[in-house]
Amino acid sequence: MPEAIYIHIPFCEQICHYCDFNKVFLANQPVEEYLDALEKELIATLEKNPPQKIKTIFVGGGTPTSLNEQQLERFLSMIERHLLPFATSDLEFTFEANPNNGLHSKLSILKQGRVNRISYGVQTFDNELLKTIGRTHRKKDVFEAVEEAKKIGFTNISVDLMFSLPGQSFAQFEETLDTAFSLDIPHFSSYSLQVEPKTVFYNMRRKGKLALPAEDESATMFELLIDRMKEQGYKQYEISNFAKPGFESIHNLTYWNNEEYYGIGAGAHSYVANKRNANAGPLNKYINMVEETGFAYIDVHEVTKNESMEEELFLGLRRASGVSKKHFYNRYKVSIENIFGKQINDLKQRGLLQETDDFIQLTRAGFLLGNEVFQEFIGIS
């Protein structure tokens, strides 16, 4: 059974221009009814597939800290009743948060509710760029939010950073990194802007109103990111994630290790009992479906052995450690070379993969062209 659970809170007080996650404006939304549905789905899910232990809980969004104090307390009491009895002693419990004003009391509530990891959506420290991408916080707010979390007792703090933003220069990203390191926190996630459908930026680009850095400049920013993180003692343990020793995200490693996980909430995905499930995204549809059946699945797909082997490659190669040949054989009873030998050799010749006695890994060039590498393993087995 899964040892990880993701819970989705879709409410936002501001919709960012790049965001394509399932989200809605907070104002006038049925928040209490949504929390009712969350609990009902959680109970039904655990009854259908009872966990033996829970090692990681991740609450994402949306903006989970858009819940008011009473709603946060209600939500955390739900977690305490239904999930904490299964929690391991080293449970990683992550809450996403926006570094806005007025977080102190909410952070205290989270700490009391056994949350032990905070992930701040910062993206950049440049105030003009923050306005451009639709964020409401400013540089000073980030420092205050991180300091608040530290004062309350959080030691595991992560910050999201983006590069290749509209109008962003190499020098601006370099300054963002300098500022980020001054926060003295143990984890960063950093990734290039991707313009997704149904976003403000997508519509702007269609109209020719979105000026983005050139592809080669974006690659140069990524190389700067890799080098500067290493200089500062952060290990790149996954393409977009960097941590001080012992602070790697256990929850996200669940995905990259191709392990199963529960997913609760509107638009959430799960991987349980060899099935990948997708929940309804629209709020009212989700609430009504859960009210009727306890679940909100709009798609259920049983993963075949071939699909699982492909996922093992394109998910596992995201890790710096790569894919273990021994683990692959133990899981699928066939050697990785028998299934993907041609693709691996081709990518090695192109300088995108490297091989040790037991691991297949991305090279530095492979990190820069990750999506191109992963595509080679999809739909071929």
Residue 329's CATH number: 1.10.10
- Three-state SS at 33: helix
pLDDT of residue 195: 79
Which residues lie closer than 8 Å to 294 by C-beta, 6 or more apart?
A: 40, 41, 43, 44, 45
pLDDT of residue 206: 81
Q: By C-alpha distance, which of 147, 141, 77, 151 is closest to 114?
A: 77
Which residues lie closer than 8 Å to 239 by C-beta, 6 or more apart?
A: 318, 362, 367, 370
Residue at 352 is within a domain: yes
> Are 190 and 81 members of one domain?
yes
Is there a contact between 126 and 87 (Cβ–Cβ < 8 Å)?
no
Is there a contact between 78 and 43 (Cβ–Cβ < 8 Å)?
no
> Are 246 and 332 members of one domain?
no
Say which residue the tokens 């490693």 belong to. 253
pLDDT of residue 23: 60
Helices (H) and strands (E) in the chain, counts: 15, 17
Q: By C-alpha distance, which of 153, 186, 4, 154 is closest to 88?
A: 4
Is there a contact between 10 and 285 (Cβ–Cβ < 8 Å)?
no
User: What domain count does the chain have?
Assistant: 2
> Are 128 and 218 members of one domain?
yes
Which residues lie closer than 8 Å to 315 by C-beta, 6 or more apart?
A: 255, 256, 257, 258
> Are 370 and 226 members of one domain?
no
pLDDT of residue 213: 85
Residue at 272 is within a domain: no
| Cα–Cα distance measured from residue 180 to residue 200, given in angstroms and rounded to the nearest whole number | 27
> Are 124 and 236 members of one domain?
yes
pLDDT of residue 13: 72
| Cα–Cα distance measured from residue 290 to residue 40, given in angstroms and rounded to the nearest whole number | 7
Low pLDDT (below 50) residues in the chain: none
pLDDT of residue 20: 61
pLDDT of residue 193: 86
Choosing from 241, 256, 271, the residue where a domain stops is 256
> Are 341 and 226 members of one domain?
no
Which residues lie closer than 8 Å to 136 by C-beta, 6 or more apart?
A: 13, 14, 98, 100
Contacts 24+ apart (CB under 8 A), 302-307: 302/274, 302/275, 303/271, 303/274, 303/275, 303/276, 305/332, 306/381, 307/381
CATH number at residue 233: 3.20.20.70
| Cα–Cα distance measured from residue 277 to residue 289, given in angstroms and rounded to the nearest whole number | 14
pLDDT of residue 104: 86
- Three-state SS at 156: strand
pLDDT of residue 360: 97
> Are 174 and 37 members of one domain?
yes
Residue at 17 is within a domain: yes
pLDDT of residue 137: 86
Residue at 77 is within a domain: yes
> Are 67 and 172 members of one domain?
yes
Q: By C-alpha distance, which of 138, 94, 98, 381 is closest to 252?
A: 94
Residue at 301 is within a domain: no
Is there a contact between 291 and 42 (Cβ–Cβ < 8 Å)?
no
Residue at 33 is within a domain: yes
| Cα–Cα distance measured from residue 159 to residue 117, given in angstroms and rounded to the nearest whole number | 11
Choosing from 211, 227, 256, the residue where a domain stops is 256
DSSP characters over 222-288: HHHHHHHHHHTT-EEEETTEEE-TT---HHHHHHHTT--BEEESTT-EEEETTEEEEE--SHHHHHH
Is there a contact between 243 and 237 (Cβ–Cβ < 8 Å)?
yes
Residue at 32 is within a domain: yes
> Are 123 and 238 members of one domain?
yes
> Are 92 and 223 members of one domain?
yes
Residue at 236 is within a domain: yes
pLDDT of residue 12: 79
DSSP state of 304: P
> Are 210 and 354 members of one domain?
no
Sheet of strand 359-362: strand arrangement: 323-324, 359-362, 353-355
Choosing from 236, 256, 276, the residue where a domain stops is 256
Which domain, by its residues, includes 87? 4-256
> Are 163 and 50 members of one domain?
yes
| Cα–Cα distance measured from residue 123 to residue 374, given in angstroms and rounded to the nearest whole number | 26
